[in-house]
Chains A and B, each alone.
Chain A
């Protein structure tokens, strides 16, 4: 059975406690703790030991997507305990200044493919250069980004087949023309179905769609429709 869950950022932006409250008792088993902004990282890390995360079988963390060169070393250092928990740490490749310190995170470092606004990491070709620098890193496939970059889903196919052995989790949302995460549309569901068979059942799906407490189940059903488990996977 595939784990489907949510990013705390999609449920309550920086308020991870509120997001966990929303998810509490729902039976949802996958979670991504989001610290997209640098200032969100320290409070989240400080709270980890006291948060009740017992309902989740799969947990990942999203590292800040923007920080200065000066703070890079400190950020990586603060993420080392997360790697020791064996939680994937999702990183935007364009945020990295120096790949050297990030290598210490090993396979816990989970590089995400980017949307069309970003200068690197959008295509299989571009990500190959990133993985050359970070050979142990795993892969977070953002299917919304891939579709926004190439609506024919050819790039999605190339990403999934090129980095199949690295695939650790999938981000699911519609990424609209302004590069904002949105709920899945009819056309995105149809597009996602075209590559669904390339994502095996044990890969967790993390929803980044902005979702209220009342529509968690409905959104998960849409994701299941978009990415059905295939015998081929």
Chain B
């Protein structure tokens, strides 16, 4: 089946909600809250960045899923001179962000500090590609938003993509049936598995604190990041007609066009990306309802201050009999099954793409 080509520049999520007659109140509320929080940060951080630095937020705030009690993860991305004053700037930003946030950035210190373009661009794979570096690089592509000036951010994202695209010659030049960037896809997959392994690591070293909420996030929001990454890697087939794909890849400079295409594809939030896919395949709208209803439910629980606190303090030995946790688990099963329907749907080309690229 040839994909349709609807464009939803405003929001695919809102278009889908309207089309299905659904009411994803928690999703739309979190979206509004995210927009408003980013606007407040933009104002509070006036003049703190320049053409070589971007203040970038990650996590729920970047995903448009910000709720009461959400973490506010940020980094000062530097793509320019090494300047000792950047450390002062980080301190200043930290103070400003603290006033806007209920929580400190996570304990692994992945955020709340500086990130340098050189390590993000050059250290892909190999021993020097630390967990922190991988996390920042992949989230930069999949789950981030510049708060104010975006020049450094756009440059770095484009340069990271340059590596994935140009160092994947079969993707550009090969006489291939499918145009899927394997290097990029493999790194997304690696990151997804890293998050899953790190869940076990944190459960061990943190004496079980917070395991329940991390588990639910892994099943929902973290999985969504991977889903959006996979769909972007399949985007040449999901979002382009045969003619448009030919235009992208035929002739010289296809790698430049590909970088531009993927950069634009990745500018959407992780939730917008599957919504866009659902809108392209009307026969999957039932599946869309299942996926989005469950995600809406998940966000509703996180938005409820008491439930969130309860989850944060829930010990693993009490999970079995805990109603909130078990309800969320049930939602995560709905979410998972909906995603399986999506990726293994034989009436769209997703089945073939998933079979060839998503398994081995």
Contact = CB atoms under 8 A, between A and B. Distances in A.
Interface of A: 116-117, 122, 149-154, 157-158, 161, 177-178, 195, 197-198, 232
B159 A151 contact: yes
Instruction: Give the one of B51, B159, B162, B257 with max A CB within 10 A.
Output: B51
Contacts of B256: 152-154, 157-158
A154 B252 contact: no
Given A149-B151, A152-B159, 8 more contacts: A116-B51, A116-B151, A152-B161, A153-B256, A154-B158, A154-B259, A177-B52, A197-B252
Nearest to A158: B260
A151 to B, nearest CB: 6
B177 interface: no
B190 interface: no
A177 B260 contact: no
30 contacts: A116-B52, A116-B151, A116-B155, A122-B151, A149-B151, A149-B155, A150-B154, A150-B155, A151-B155, A151-B159, A151-B162, A152-B158, A152-B159, A152-B161, A152-B162, A152-B256, A153-B256, A154-B158, A154-B256, A154-B259, A154-B260, A154-B263, A157-B253, A157-B256, A157-B257, A158-B256, A158-B260, A177-B52, A178-B81, A232-B252
Nearest to B263: A154
Sort A-B residue pairs by CB-CB distance and give the 9 closest, nearest first: A157-B256, A152-B162, A116-B51, A154-B259, A154-B256, A152-B158, A117-B51, A157-B253, A154-B260
B358 interface: no
A154 B51 contact: no
Contacts of B52: 116, 177
A198 B256 CA distance: 13
A154 B162 contact: yes
A232 B253 CA distance: 12
Interface string B241-266: 00000000000110011011001000
B80 interface: yes
A189 B49 CA distance: 30
A150 B158 contact: yes
Contacts of B154: 150
Given A116-B51, A177-B80, A177-B81, A152 B259 contact: yes
Nearest to B165: A152
Contacts, number: 42
Contacts of A117: 51
Contacts of B263: 154
B334 to A, nearest CB: 40
Nearest to B81: A177
B116 to A, nearest CB: 14
A198 B252 CA distance: 10
Q: In the complex, which of the residues A117, A151, A177 has the most CB atoms of chain B within 10 Å of its own CB atom?
A: A151
B93 to A, nearest CB: 21
Nearest to A160: B253
Contacts of B151: 116, 122, 149
For A157, A161, A198, the residue with the greatest tally of chain B CB atoms inside 10 Å of its CB is A157
Nearest to B161: A152
Contacts of B257: 157
B84 to A, nearest CB: 16
Contacts of A149: 151, 155
Nearest to B80: A177
Contacts of B51: 116-117
A101 B161 CA distance: 42
Interface string B313-336: 000000000000000000000000
A152 B259 CA distance: 9
Interface in B19-66: 51-52
